[in-house]
Amino acid sequence: MIQTKKLDVGYKDILISNINFTVAPGQIVTIIGPNGSGKSTVLKTILKQLEKKGGSISICEKEIDSLKEKEYAKQVSMVTSQRLQPERMTCEEMVATARYPYTGRLGILSENDWQVVYRALEQVNATSLSDKDFNEISDGERQRIMLARAIAQDTEIIVLDEPTSYLDMHYKLDLLKIIHRLAKQEGKTILMSLHELDLVKSIADTIVCVNGKEVVKVGTSEDVYKGSFIQNLYGIEDDEFETHTGRMKLKLAEKTAFSKHVIMVQGTMSSAGKSFIVAGLCRLFKQYGYKVAPFKSQNMALNSYITKEGKEMGRAQVMQAEAAGIEADVCMNPILLKPTSDVGSQVIVNGEVLENMPAKSYFQYKTQLIPEILKAYHKLEEMVDIIVIEGAGSPAEINLKQNDIVNMGMAQMVNAPVLLVADIDRGGVFAQLYGTVELLEEQERNRIQGLIINKFRGDKSILDPGIEMLEEKVHIPVIGTIPYSHVSLDEEDSVTTRFDQKEENVINLGVVRFPRISNFTDFAIFEQMDHVSVHYMSNPHKIDKMDCVLLPGSKNTIADLKWLKESGFEVNIKRASKNIPVIGICGGYQMLGNQIQDPYSVEEGGYIEGLGLLDINTVLEKEKITKQVEGSFPKVEGPLACLSNQIYRGYEIHMGNSTGKEPLINQGNVYGSYVHGLFDAGNIASLIVQTLAKRKGISLEEKEFDYQAWKESQYDLLAQILEENMDVKKLFEIVGVEWHEKEN
C-alpha cells in the first residue's frame, strides 16, 4: 500500500536520504529515533506536507505526485500530535470534516456520510463526546476524536505522527488497541512514529530506525532490540535499557556510594539561594585549580542568553559559567521553560524551541527528555573535572515528585550527593530543613550529605544550639552558615528583589515593569553605578521623575503592549519622549513602532497598533532569531549622539522581524534596538549617564565602568564568603576530590 524507493527528505537541505521500505495491508510499521532524527519529516513527506527531495513514494502503486488532492484524501488519512483549535466545532462536526472528499461542491453531507461519522465515533468509544466543544475536551479525548476522523475518512492507509504524545497511560493503551484492531481486523495499513519503545515492541510488525542522517535499520522488534542497537541509536548506556521489555531503566544510586566529581545543590524553597551557592562553589573550585561547570537539567526563566552557536539557555547558568571561568554551553541547561501564560510555557530543548505546551501536558511529557538531559550531562562530564548541579524549587514538593527530572530524580540519574540549602531570612529555617528532610523517601534522605543555612544575620553562637538539635534529629551535618551579604549576581526573573522600590539618585532610570518582562538584566550595569538608581515601574506616574525611560523585553509583546495602553503608560511615555530619552530593547523596541502583526498566531494573532514613536513595523514570524552580534553604531542623532561609532556586543533573541535593521534606530528622543546586553560593552553605559547628567546641568566624573571586571570581583567575593563560612574540607570530601592549601 505504501512503498518508498531511494526517497530523500528534508526542509531546505536533505536530512535523510535513500529511504526504502514497504507497508503492506494489515501491517503496522513504526518509525523510531531520537528527537530531531527525522521521523516527522519522513511522515510529512508521505503526507505531501513537504516536497520530497528525491526518489519516489507510491500509494497503492501510484506515484503520489500523480494523485490529485481529493483522490489522495480518499487513500490516506492522518492523525498528528498537533493541537488543532477550530472555532466552535463540536466533536461530531470535527469528525464530519473527514467526509468532505466524498461530497459535492457545496460540501453537504448525505445521510450515509453522517452514518459513517456515527460509526467512527462508536469505534473509538466516543459517542458521548459528540455534542461537546472540541476545544474543551481532554488531550486523550481529542486524540480519540482525531482517530475517529481518520476512520471516517474511509481510507485504506492511516498515517499517525506520535499519536500518543501528551497522553496518560490509560489513553495511550486505549488508542493503540484501536490502532491494532484497525490493522489486524479491518486490514488497514498503518504507518506511524512513536517515542515509547516498550509500546513499539508490543505493536509494530516492522520498525524503521532513523538517526537524523539515514535509515540505519529496518526489521522486526527481535532484530532491532538485539544487542546494544537501541542504546547506540539513542546515545544511552547499555544498562539503561531493557531489551526484553523495551523499557528505559534508571540507574539508581546506592545509599552511600555516590559518583565522584559531582555535587548537587537543592533548596527548601525557591529563592533559598541555590543559584548563589552554585555560583560560589564554581568559583571556589576554580580557585583551587579544578576545571568546573554548572548544570541545571530544567530551568524556568524569562531571562535567557544566546550562545555563540545561536542556542538559547537560562541566564543563571551563564552567570555560573562565568563564575567557573568557562564559556557558557547549552549542555549546561538542556531544558529551558519560558512561561508564555499562567498555565503554559515555551519548551526549549538543547537551545532550540520544541513547542509551546500547557503545564499539564509538559508534566506528562518531560520524562521523554531524560535521554537529552543525560546526553548533555555526559558531554559536560568530558569537558570538566567537577560538575555543580542546581535543583529547582524544593525536592519536597510531593505533588510534583512523580517523574521528577530536576531535583532528586536528577540526583538519582547521575548518582550525585546533595547539599540542602535553607533561607533563614524568611524565618523558620529549622522547620524548613527538618520538614524537607522528613518529606523525602529514605533513599532520597540518604543522598543529603550536608545542610547549609543561608542569609544569616547576627551572632552565630545564638544559632548553634538549634543547629545541634537539628543535626540530632535528621542525622545530617550543617556544613555551612552563610551570612547575609551584598554580593550582586544576575538573578532568575521569578524571584528577583531588584524590582523593589529604590530611593531617587542623581540619575534615575525608569524601566517599565511589564507583566511578562524578560531579560531585565540588560539594565544591571546601571545598578552598579554610583550616581544611578534603576526604578522598575508599575505606576505610570513615576515617569515624571525619571531622566530616561527604558522599555525592556517581553515574552508576550502583544499582551504587554495591551497592558501598556490600558494601564496609562502609553500617554505618559509619549509625553516623556518629548523631553527625555526613551529606549526600547527587543519587545520594547517593537512596541515603540507603528504596529505589530501576528499573522501566524505566534502570540495572540491579529495585529495591534504600537506607540508610533519609531517609524517601524514588526511581523511576528514562526522562526525565532537567536544569534550573538557585535559591531559599531552608525551615526546617532538626538540626545544620545555620544553613542555614534561606539563598539557594542550582545545577542538577539526574538520572533519579530522589524523594518528597522540598524543595531540602534533613533527618531528624535526615541531609540530602539534588538540587541540584549547593549549597554554592557565599553563605555556605553557611562556615556549615557554622563549625557543624562549634563542635560540636568550636572557634571559627573564617571570613568569607563569595566562591567566584566566588576562581575569577576563579585564572584571572588562570593567564593571568599563561602570558604570562610563552610567546612571546605568536608565539601571536598563529599565531592570526592583532593583538598589542599590554596596557591597564592
pTM for this prediction: 0.62
Query: One-letter amino acid identity for 320?
Result: Q
Report the C-alpha gap between 616 and 69 in whole angstroms.
Answer: 41
Q: Is 654 a catalytic residue?
A: no
The mean-pLDDT minimum among 342-356, 564-578, 632-646 falls in 342-356
Taking residues 135-141, what's their average pLDDT? 84
Active-site annotation holder among 586, 642, 654, 740: 586
Whether residue 373 is predicted with pLDDT greater than 80 in this model: the reply is yes
User: CATH 3.40.50.880 residue ranges in the chain?
Assistant: 507-699
673-682 mean pLDDT: 93
Predicted confidence (pLDDT) per residue in 564-604, tens digit:
999 999 999 999 999 999 999 999 999 999 999 999 998 88
- 510-530 pLDDT tens trace: 999 999 998 888 999 998 888
pLDDT higher than 80, residue 394: yes
Q: Are 8 and 16 in contact (CB under 8 A)?
A: yes
The pLDDT assigned to 495 comes to 46
Evaluate if residue 489 carries a pLDDT over 60.
yes
Q: Is it the case that residue 609 has pLDDT exceeding 80?
A: yes
Amino acid identity of 720?
A: Q
Nearest CA-CA partner of 370 in 261, 264, 249, 207: 249
Please tell me the predicted confidence (pLDDT) of residue 399.
81
**Catalytic residue flag (residue 642):** no
Parts of the chain belonging to CATH 3.40.50.300: 2-248, 262-483
Which cell goes with 207? Answer: 520498525
Tens digit of each residue's pLDDT (9 = 90 or more) over 33-81? 998 899 999 999 999 999 999 999 999 889 998 998 889 999 999 988 6
Query: 631-642 as b/e, with b when 16 or more CB fall inside 10 Å?
Result: eebeebeebbeb
Tell me the pLDDT band of 91, cut-offs 50, 70 and 90.
Answer: very high
Give the model's pLDDT for residue 559.
93
Q: SS3 of 701, please?
A: coil
pLDDT of residue 494 exceeding 50 = no
CATH number of 2-248: 3.40.50.300
Percent residues over pLDDT 90 in the chain: 70
The pLDDT of 434-456, averaged and rounded, is 94
Q: For cell 568559583, what's the residue? A: 283
> What's residue 743's pLDDT?
63
Separation between Cα atoms, residue 329 and residue 380, nearest integer Å: 9
CATH superfamily of domain region 507-699: Class I glutamine amidotransferase (GATase) domain (3.40.50.880)
Strand 157-161 to strand 189-193: parallel, antiparallel, or no bridges (unpaired)?
A: parallel
- In angstroms, the CA 522 to CA 651 distance is 11
Which residues are registered as beta bridge partners of 617?
A: 595
pLDDT at 707: 84
pLDDT at 255: 46
pLDDT at 420 over 80: yes
List the one residue out of 540, 600, 607 whose CA is nearest residue 574: 540
Q: State which amino acid sits at residue 251.
A: K
Write the CATH number of the domain with boundaries 262-483. 3.40.50.300
Q: DSSP string spanning 12-63?
A: SSEEEEEEEEEE-TT-EEEEE-STTSSHHHHHHHHTTSS--SEEEEEETTEE
568 torsion bin: left (phi>0), alpha (psi -120 to 50), beta (else): left
Given a cut of 70, whether residue 496 has pLDDT beyond it is: no
The Cα–Cα gap between 126 and 138 comes to: 12
pLDDT exceeds cutoff 50 at 253: no
Please determine, for residue 14, whether its predicted confidence score (pLDDT) is greater than 50: yes
Q: What is the DSSP string of 230-278?
A: HHHHHT--GGGEETTTTEE---PPPSS-PPSSEEEEEESSTTSSHHHHH
Torsional class of 60: left (φ above 0), alpha (ψ -120 to 50), beta (otherwise): left
